[in-house]
């Protein structure tokens, strides 16, 4: 055991001077190791760092049950395949749906599948926040020296969710291979752009939904209706839905920017609402804007939790 | 207490247990309604492309969508019913206590599951159905007899649903982890019940096969009885046939499991 | 007055004396109560009602009170989880609610009923995460871990998945996890709840050692008066959000004038045991409950009962906190009444 100068030096009586007894971290670690100022960049860095560490712990945890992991990964793949199976079943009976061919619908499906899959992989357990508030385990995250959002986002990180991404990539690959369109460099670049900004938009919905659970702990199902419901909605061409619904997901909850708005440009089809062409290139901006808004909502939610204690 | 009274009490317990989850019920209703709307539009597009697909007209197709959303919880097509509890009791060994109870294990769980189904029919079935009828033109019958026949088909459907899940849950006696078996059942149920698309839209032999399997008793059968697309009596016979077969299989597995527990000394 | 401005010769000493400081701290919650199907009533609840106290560096303080008295709320404000509605909180000179993450490096928290360990992973993995998350220098980490492993007897448990640990082992594991980064303050929320006698003793002994060797300030909430008696010199009692008592543990018994209970299992049913000043308060078959003043030793009583009656088993039950506080209330009211009478007599 380490017998240091602390021993016998410390008196536990009130008011005794015992600075030898416990050094402050600055003294103990030296200035260069101390995390330092808490600016926005260091917060982001800290957040990513904590995220990586916690996600790695979850991966190790799931690997404790390898068989179960393989099975759930397959289940994840199969379950997400059902949506596309439905579309295939439909196209076994018809050649077009709302004026769109199977490759075109597959393109819409693939983009939203991969975008949603990415979000689900990265912050898929946001909907557990409500139960964490209820059972009090959120408090254990609040006493850690890392941003709470990063800790909650990494919660239950599961590689089995790669199943959803893989399935989306299959369908997207199929669509790109068989689609009969004139691919320009711009159109090619738009595919990864859509996937990434789509993931940002879905991510914003996940975070905002999570923040809402600070106030309403049972709202996870409602959040799932938005995310999974929105994901299902976007698998189909906008032409089949009522105009009000299309307006809602274009202007209110801008899910249409995940695939509808940019993908219809790639497919060379008119958007059901009267939008200028350049709007097709805005998803990164919309995504960034959504993330900023979601960040503000998150902060408000966390502040409300810390002032009400749920 | 008579055995009948006992099982009524168990069923009432099942009903009350689910009735306490009010927020979950409301959230489930919301989800079913949202998905009902999305599916309704895809069906409208599909039937616009090919009217009378599978012998349905558009109103019938929409009716099918909303019956599907209403049956989603009742037939346990998406979530868990009693089987998660039962698997947990098997895993922890508490099942030994159940086996020594004077009540029959299968009948006990059937009663509890029936109580649950009744609650979810009221709590999660009525609202999405009413919502669908409000926003879309549905092909709903006007005579009470058809509604009554549909209720009978639902009741028989819940028994078939129970019988399938009971068999799967008992597999936990032999499997280390019941989760995989449950997931497979879920996938099978989702596909073959007609939750994705009506079974009469399935192409060729796949459709023929799907209509013969027990899962068609859960959603396709009640929907067709409601819309007058199927003869009620032969539908009941089909459902009851599967119910008897599956309950019997469940009993056989149950007695094998009981022997196993007795051999292991509880 | 702002204490942070006090920079004199004895600035550090002053800061150490007010290491934890609460100044008229309040926490008000809005509670909604359902009164009808859609109607609800809003009510303000003062979970913490103008509490002030200071804890010096290196003190060990027990913080007790019945359920819902405001204990956890206070701890949550001290750790930065909750923002106070009013008043001022400082821990090591830091405002917890404003600089939560900075404070996190300097405090350790153990939640009795919520483990922070990783359920499916070996215990050591949780510690490695702490090592990296708190950026503990390697040498410090190894030193602290070795020490915790030795004193908390965790050596054989490091490679065991946490889900296989007993409650007592897990609690010791949790305490170690909270100490690897050399916190200056350790908050423990019900650290002995549900533990067996041996585990309780180990935890208490460890806390005493930690305090003597490292000078760690310890704040402990508990239901178990023995935790306080064996670990803390100072105790604070909170009820209805107010500080009812702040002083040495002995004073609590004087104020509370409480009774302990001797539970006696006899060989057979017998008439009530006679052993004054203890008196039988309950008989159930061969088992009898004897109440005796908490200030007296149980030994002579036990000796007498053992000599005169056919014994099977014995145990001593400590007065519970609710009982102590209840008598405290009664005494306080009594004193207030007497003071009032005295004043009347004077006028």
Name the band, by pLDDT with cuts 50, 70 and 90, for residue C343.
low
Which pLDDT does position C329 carry in this prediction? 63
Confidence of residue A30 (pLDDT cuts 50, 70, 90): very low
A residues 128-167 lying closer than 8 A (beta carbon) to C: 135-137, 139-140, 142-147
Q: What does the alpha-carbon distance between residue C136 and residue C145 come to, in Å, rounded to a whole number?
A: 11
Contact (CB, 8 A) for B201 and A85: no
- Phi, psi of C260, deg, nearest 5: -100, 165
pLDDT tens per residue, range A125-155:
898 898 888 888 899 999 999 999 999 999 9
Is the domain of C284 the same as that of C185?
A: no
Residues of B in contact with A248 (CB under 8 A): none
State the pLDDT confidence band at C11, using cuts at 50, 70 and 90: low
The domain that holds C173 is classified in CATH as: 3.40.50.300
Asked if the model's pLDDT at residue A10 lies above 50, the reply is no
What is the four-CA torsion angle of B160, B162, B165, B167, rounded to 10 degrees?
A: -80
Among candidate residues C226, C253, C280, the one where a domain is terminated: C253
Residue C342 lies inside a defined structural domain of this protein: no
Please indicate whether, in this complex, the C-beta atoms of C101 and A65 are within 8 angstroms of each other. Answer: no
In a domain, C171, yes or no: yes
Q: How confident is the model at residue A39 (pLDDT cuts 50, 70, 90)?
A: low
Residue A13 pLDDT grade (very low, low, confident, very high; cuts 50, 70, 90) = very low
Cite the DSSP H helix spans in chain C.
11-17, 71-78, 100-104, 123-133, 138-151, 167-179, 197-214, 225-231, 249-256, 299-308, 321-346
Which of A9-13, A140-144, C39-43, C191-195 is least confident? A9-13
Is the per-residue pLDDT at A176 higher than 70? yes
pLDDT of residue C118: 92
Using alpha carbons, list the distances in angstroms from residue A192 to A169, A172, A258, C228.
Answer: 11, 11, 11, 62
Q: Tokens 């959603």 — which residue?
A: B219
- Verify that C224 and C166 share a domain, yes or no: yes
pLDDT at residue A112 is higher than 60: yes
* Averaged pLDDT for residues C37-50: 78
When pLDDT is averaged across residues C63-88 and rounded to a whole number, the result is 89
Residues C209 and C295 in one domain: no
Looking at residue C44, its pLDDT comes to 83
Tell me which of B249 and C297 has the higher pLDDT: B249
* Same domain for C226 and C178: yes
Residue C128 in contact with residue A67, Cβ under 8 Å? Answer: no
pLDDT for C5: 45
C274 and C215 both lie in a single domain? no
A53 CB neighbour count, 10 Å cutoff: 17
Q: How far apart are CA B90 and CA B112, in angstroms?
A: 17
- Position A309 confidence tier, pLDDT thresholds 50, 70, 90: low
Does residue A309 belong to the interface with chain C, where contact is any CB pair within 8 Å?
Answer: yes
Is residue C224 domain-shared with residue C288, that is, in the same domain?
A: no
**Which residue would you say has higher pLDDT here, A290 or A125?**
A290
Q: Residues of chain C with pLDDT > 70: what percent?
A: 84
Residue C334 counted as domain residue: no
Distance, in Å, from the CA atom of A174 to the CA atom of A166, rounded to the nearest integer, reads 12
Q: Which two tokens stand for residue B94?
A: 């508490």
Whether residue C237 sits in one domain with residue C301: no
Nearest residue on chain A to B24, alpha-carbon basis: A218
In a domain, C329, yes or no: no
C216: pLDDT strictly greater than 90 = yes
One domain for residues C171 and C308: no
- pLDDT given for residue C293 in this prediction: 78
Kindly state whether residue C180 falls inside one of the protein's structural domains.
yes
Q: Do chains B and C touch (3 or more CB pairs under 8 A)?
A: no
pLDDT tens over chain B, length 266 residues: 577 888 999 999 999 988 888 888 888 899 999 999 999 999 999 999 999 999 999 999 999 999 999 999 999 887 667 787 888 888 777 887 887 777 888 999 999 999 999 999 999 999 999 999 999 999 999 999 999 999 999 999 999 999 999 998 888 888 766 677 777 888 888 899 999 999 999 999 999 999 999 999 999 999 999 999 999 999 999 999 999 999 999 999 998 888 877 655 44
Which range among A91-105, A268-282, B3-17 shows the weakest confidence by mean pLDDT? Answer: B3-17
| Residue C150 located in a structural domain | yes
Mutate to test the interface with C, among A7, A136, A143, A150 (most CBs of C within 10 A): A143
- Give the count of domains, chain B: 1
Tell me the pLDDT tens digit for each residue of B87-133.
888 877 788 788 777 788 899 999 999 999 999 999 999 999 999 99
- Is position C335 within any domain? no
Whether residues C174 and C109 share a domain: the answer is: yes
- C264 is in which domain, residue-wise? 259-318
Mean pLDDT of C153-168: 92
CATH of residue C278's domain is 3.30.70
DSSP at C290: E
pLDDT at C333 over 70: no
Q: Which of A72, A218, A241 sits opposite B23 (nearest CB)?
A: A218
First CA to last CA across chain B, in angstroms? Answer: 27
CB–CB contact A97 B37 (8 Å): no
Q: Do C83 and A306 touch (CB under 8 A)?
A: yes
pLDDT at A16: 36
In a domain, C78, yes or no: yes
Those residues whose C-beta lies under 8 Å from the C-beta of residue C254, and which sit 6 or more positions away, are C295
Tens-place pLDDT, residues C223-251? 777 888 888 989 998 888 889 889 887 77
Which residue has better confidence, A54 or A24? A54
Phi first, then psi: give them for residue A250, nearest 5 degrees: -95, -45
d(CA A236, CA A252): 19
Over 60: is that where the pLDDT of A113 sits?
yes
The CA distance from A121 to the nearest CA of chain C, in Å, is 20
> What proportions of chain B, in percent to the nearest 5, are helix, strand and coil?
80, 0, 20
């Amino acid at each position: 055991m380490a017998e240091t100068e602390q021993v016998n030096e410390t008196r536990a009586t009130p008011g005794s001077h015992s600075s030898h007894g416990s050094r402050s971290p600055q003294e103990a670690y030296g200035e260069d190791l101390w995390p330092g100022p808490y600016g926005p960049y260091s917060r982001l860095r800290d957040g990513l760092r904590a995220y990586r560490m916690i996600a790695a712990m979850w991966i190790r945890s799931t690997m404790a049950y390898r068989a179960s992991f393989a099975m759930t990964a397959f289940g994840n793949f199969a379950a997400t395949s059902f949506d596309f199976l439905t579309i295939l079943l439909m196209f076994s009976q018809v050649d077009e749906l709302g004026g769109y061919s199977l490759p075109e619908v597959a393109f819409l499906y693939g983009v939203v599948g991969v975008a949603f899959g990415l979000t689900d992989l990265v912050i898929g357990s946001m909907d557990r926040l409500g139960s964490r508030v209820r059972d009090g385990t959120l408090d254990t995250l609040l006493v850690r020296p890392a941003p709470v959002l990063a800790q909650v986002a990494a919660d239950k990180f599961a590689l089995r969710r790669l199943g959803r991404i893989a399935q989306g990539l299959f369908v997207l690959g199929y669509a790109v291979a068989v689609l009969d369109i004139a691919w320009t460099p711009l159109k090619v670049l738009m595919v990864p752009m859509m996937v990434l900004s789509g993931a940002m938009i879905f991510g914003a919905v996940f975070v905002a939904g999570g923040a809402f659970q600070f106030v309403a702990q049972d709202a996870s199902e409602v959040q799932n209706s938005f995310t999974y419901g929105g994901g299902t909605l976007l698998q189909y061409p906008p032409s089949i839905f009522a105009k009000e619904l299309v307006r809602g997901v274009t202007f209110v909850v801008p899910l249409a920017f995940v695939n509808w708005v940019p993908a219809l440009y790639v497919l060379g089809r008119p958007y059901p609402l009267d939008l200028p062409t350049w709007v097709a290139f805005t998803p990164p901006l919309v995504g960034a804007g959504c993330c900023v808004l979601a960040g503000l909502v998150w902060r408000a939610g966390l502040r409300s939790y810390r002032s009400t204690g749920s | 207490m008579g055995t009948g009274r006992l099982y009524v009490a168990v069923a009432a317990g099942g009903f009350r247990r689910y009735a306490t989850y009010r927020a979950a019920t409301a959230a489930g209703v919301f989800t079913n309604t949202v998905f009902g709307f999305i599916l309704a539009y895809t069906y409208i597009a599909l039937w616009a492309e090919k009217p009378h697909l599978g012998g349905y007209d558009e109103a019938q197709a929409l009716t099918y969508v909303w019956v599907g959303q209403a049956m989603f919880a009742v037939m346990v097509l998406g979530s868990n019913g009693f089987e998660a509890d039962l698997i947990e009791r098997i895993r922890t060994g508490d099942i030994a206590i159940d086996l020594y109870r004077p009540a029959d294990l299968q009948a006990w769980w059937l009663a509890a599951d029936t109580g649950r189904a009744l609650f979810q029919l009221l709590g999660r079935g009525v609202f999405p159905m009413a919502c669908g009828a409000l926003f879309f033109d549905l092909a709903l019958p006007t005579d009470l007899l058809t509604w009554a026949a549909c209720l009978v088909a639902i009741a028989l459907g819940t028994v078939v649903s129970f019988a399938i899940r009971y068999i799967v849950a008992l597999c936990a006696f032999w499997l280390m982890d019941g989760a995989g078996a449950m997931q497979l059942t879920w996938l099978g149920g989702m596909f073959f019940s007609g939750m994705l698309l009506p079974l009469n839209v399935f192409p060729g032999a796949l459709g023929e096969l799907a209509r013969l399997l027990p899962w068609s008793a859960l959603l396709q059968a009640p929907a067709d009885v409601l819309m007058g697309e199927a003869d009620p009596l032969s539908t009941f016979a089909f459902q009851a046939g599967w119910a008897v077969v599956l309950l019997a299989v469940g009993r056989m597995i149950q007695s094998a499991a009981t022997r196993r527990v007795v051999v292991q000394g509880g | 007055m702002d204490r942070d401005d006090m920079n004199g010769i004895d600035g550090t000493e002053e800061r150490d004396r007010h290491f934890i400081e609460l100044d008229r701290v309040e926490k008000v919650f809005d509670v909604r109560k359902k009164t009808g199907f859609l109607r609800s009533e809003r009510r303000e609840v003062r979970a913490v009602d103008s509490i002030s106290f200071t804890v010096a560096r290196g003190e060990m303080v027990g913080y007790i009170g019945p359920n819902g008295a405001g204990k956890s709320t206070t701890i949550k404000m001290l750790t930065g989880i909750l923002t106070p509605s009013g008043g001022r909180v400082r821990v090591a000179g830091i405002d917890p609610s404003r600089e939560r993450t900075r404070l996190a490096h300097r405090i350790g928290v153990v939640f009795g009923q919520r483990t922070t360990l990783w359920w499916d992973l070996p215990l050591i993995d949780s510690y490695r995460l702490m090592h990296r998350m708190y950026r503990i220098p390697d040498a410090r980490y190894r030193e602290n871990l070795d020490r915790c492993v030795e004193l908390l007897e965790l050596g054989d448990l490091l490679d065991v998945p946490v889900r296989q640990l007993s409650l007592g082992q897990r609690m010791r594991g949790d305490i170690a996890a909270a100490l690897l980064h050399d916190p200056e303050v350790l908050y423990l929320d019900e650290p002995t709840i549900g533990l067996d006698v041996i585990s309780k003793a180990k935890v208490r002994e460890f806390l005493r050692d930690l305090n003597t060797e490292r000078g760690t300030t310890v704040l402990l909430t508990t239901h178990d008066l023995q935790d306080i008696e064996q670990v803390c010199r100072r105790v604070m009692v909170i009820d209805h959000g107010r500080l009812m008592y702040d002083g040495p543990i002995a004073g609590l018994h004087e104020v509370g004038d409480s009774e302990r209970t001797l539970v006696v299992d006899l060989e057979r049913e017998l008439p009530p045991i006679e052993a004054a000043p203890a008196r039988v308060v309950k008989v159930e078959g061969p088992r009898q409950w004897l109440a005796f003043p908490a200030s007296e030793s149980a030994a002579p009583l036990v000796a007498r009962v053992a000599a005169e009656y056919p014994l099977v088993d014995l145990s001593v039950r400590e007065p519970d906190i609710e009982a102590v506080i209840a008598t405290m209330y009664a005494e306080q009211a009594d004193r207030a009444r007497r003071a009032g009478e005295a004043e009347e007599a004077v006028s």
